[in-house]
């Protein structure tokens, strides 16, 4: 199969063939504790070598939460994230912020503090949410989630993270089921009850439980999840702050803590994802791989792809 890497050249994106070698295999089975869970789930797409979540669509490579950014992410071989909100008339769309101020260029001052919930779809769908990123992206618009799911239907390699901002969970689950993409979406939330509610609505659904904070906070949250047997969770993400990469241990939480979490999650068959904030350094991604990271979330998907590829070559895989 021909494999490609996407790079920007001038004002457009072009496909560059990737070197032979491939990415890390993520083939761990999802082992659920005995009890109330349905049939075991794979924590990652069966066709995926290594799961890289492209934050808000395609990371910093394109305007966030547009169908074009999702298409770019899929073309690169990563999994885009969509932030889901509801318009005034009940249409589910992808949009991150509470207001229009940051993402709609030259929005009139009297409308800057309006949110998606204040606008009907007929109005929200006309907003230009590409121009803020540069003139090359002018004309990109807020997508309806039904259109995003339609672009995924029948294409099992297209997966999508869903970050709930403001949407009725049952409505979203029904839309997912209507489009037949239950196996392709991963609900992402920091709220464990929301994770459990999603699995009740879609027992076959995947989930990502993400969390940040210092080691004390993380330890407390992990202890609570441990008491539940990590029920309902197929992926877990830890936010990692990166200090000077030249330090013996540049990570907060510490390298020892991350390695310990990775080992525990592996025992449960849960995919261990790290989000190294504001990191565009291949070497940092390599160090996280050494600590047992099996997945990345990032604003720099091209860097993460390169890091995993070169790591595999280094390890002789």
Is the peptide bond preceding residue 7 cis, with omega within 30 degrees of 0?
no
**Residue 226: exposure state from Cβ atoms within 10 A (0-12, 13-18, ≥19):** exposed
∠ Cα 181 185 187 (to 5°): 140
Reading the block at residue 133, the tokens are 């990123």
Count CB neighbours of 27 within 10 A.
11
Q: Are 142 and 64 in contact (CB under 8 A)?
A: no
Three-state SS for 169?
helix
pTM of the model: 0.86
Average pLDDT, the chain: 87
3-state secondary structure 61-79: CCCCCCHHHHHHHHHHCCE
Confidence (pLDDT) at 25: 34
pLDDT in tens, 61-101: 999 999 999 999 999 999 999 999 999 999 999 999 999 99
C-alpha–C-alpha distance, residues 218 and 60, integer Å: 28
- DSSP assignment of 270-308, as one string? -EEEEEETT---HHHHHHHHHTT--EEEES-HHHHHHHH
pLDDT in tens, 219-250: 999 999 999 999 999 999 999 999 988 889 99
Task: Tell me which residue of 109, 179, 118, 193 sits closest to 145, measured CA to CA.
Answer: 179
Confidence (pLDDT) at 6: 43
Please report, rounded to a whole number, the percentage of residues in the chain having pLDDT higher than 70.
84
What value does the mean pLDDT take over residues 250-261? 98
The CATH H-level superfamily of 4-85+143-315 is: Phosphatidylinositol (PI) phosphodiesterase (3.20.20.190)
**Residue 160: exposure state from Cβ atoms within 10 A (0-12, 13-18, ≥19):** buried
3-state helix, strand, coil in the chain (%, to 5): 30, 20, 45
Residues shown for the chain: 317
């Amino acid at each position: 199969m021909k494999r490609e890497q996407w790079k920007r050249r001038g004002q457009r994106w072009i496909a560059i063939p990737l070197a032979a070698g491939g990415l890390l295999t993520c083939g761990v089975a999802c082992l659920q504790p005995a009890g109330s869970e349905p049939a075991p789930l794979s924590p990652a797409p069966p066709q995926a070598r290594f799961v890289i979540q492209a934050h808000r669509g395609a990371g910093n490579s394109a305007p966030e939460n547009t169908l074009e950014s999702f298409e770019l992410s899929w073309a690169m071989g990563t999994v885009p994230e969509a932030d889901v909100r509801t318009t005034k008339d009940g249409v589910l769309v992808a949009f991150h912020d509470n207001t229009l101020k940051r993402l709609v260029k030259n929005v009139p001052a009297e409308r800057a503090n309006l949110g998606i919930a204040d606008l009907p779809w007929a109005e929200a769908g006309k907003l230009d949410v590409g121009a803020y990123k540069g003139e090359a992206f002018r004309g990109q618009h807020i997508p309806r989630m039904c259109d995003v799911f339609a672009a995924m239907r029948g294409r099992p390699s297209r997966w999508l993270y869903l970050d709930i901002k403001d949407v009725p969970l049952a409505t979203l689950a029904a839309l997912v089921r209507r489009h037949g993409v239950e196996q392709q979406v991963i609900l992402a939330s920091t709220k464990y009850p929301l994770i459990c509610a999603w699995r009740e609505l879609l027992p076959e659904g995947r989930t990502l439980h993400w969390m940040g904070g210092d080691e004390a906070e993380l330890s407390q949250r992990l202890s609570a999840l441990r008491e539940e047997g990590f029920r309902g969770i197929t992926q877990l993400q830890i936010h990692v702050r990166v200090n000077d990469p030249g330090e013996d241990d540049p990570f907060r939480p510490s390298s020892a803590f991350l390695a310990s979490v990775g080992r525990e999650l592996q025992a449960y068959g849960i995919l261990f994802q790290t989000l190294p904030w504001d990191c565009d350094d291949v070497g940092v991604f390599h160090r996280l791989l050494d600590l047992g990271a099996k997945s990345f979330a990032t604003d720099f998907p091209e860097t993460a792809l390169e890091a995993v590829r070169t790591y595999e070559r280094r390890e002789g895989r």
